[in-house]
Amino acid sequence: MDAFHLPSLISRQAERLSTEVEIVLAPPAIYLHTINSMVKDLDHVKVAAQNCHQKSSGAYTGEISASMLDDLKIGYVILGHSERRQHFHEDHVLLAQKVDAVLDTGMQVIFCCGEPLDVRERGEERAYVQTQLEQSLWHRSKEDFQRIVIAYEPIRAIGTGKTATPDQAQSMPAFLRQLLEDNYDTATANGVRLLYGGSCKPNNAASLFEQPDIDGALVGGASLQADDFMDIVRARIKRT
For 117, phi and psi rounded to 5 degrees? -60, -40
Strands 76-79 and 45-49: parallel
Confidence (pLDDT) at 229: 93
Backbone CA torsion sign across 145, 117, 126, 89: negative
Q: What is the pLDDT along the chain (240 residues), one digit of tens a residue?
A: 455 667 777 778 887 777 889 999 999 999 999 999 999 999 999 999 999 999 999 999 999 999 999 999 999 999 999 999 999 999 999 999 999 999 999 999 999 999 998 998 899 999 999 999 999 999 999 999 999 999 999 887 665 556 678 888 999 999 999 999 999 999 999 999 999 998 899 999 999 999 999 999 999 989 999 899 999 999 999 988
Q: Of residues 53, 81, 90, 115, which has the active-site annotation?
A: 81
Burial class (CB in 10 A: 0-12, 13-18, 19+), 72: middle
- Give the pLDDT score at 216: 97
**Which amino acid, 132?**
Q
Residues in the chain: 240
Cβ atoms of residues 85 and 115 within 8 Å: no
In angstroms, what is the C-alpha Rg of the chain? 17
Q: Is 81 a catalytic residue?
A: yes
From the candidates 90, 115, 125, 153, give the one annotated as an active-site residue: 153
The predicted pLDDT at position 15 comes to 79
Helix ranges restricted to H, the chain: 5-14, 32-38, 66-71, 82-87, 92-103, 117-121, 125-136, 166-183, 186-191, 205-209, 226-239
Domains and CATH numbers, the chain: 5-239 (3.20.20.70)
Q: Left, alpha or beta for 126 (phi > 0: left; psi -120 to 50: alpha)?
A: alpha
Q: Side chain identity at 134, as an amino acid letter?
A: E
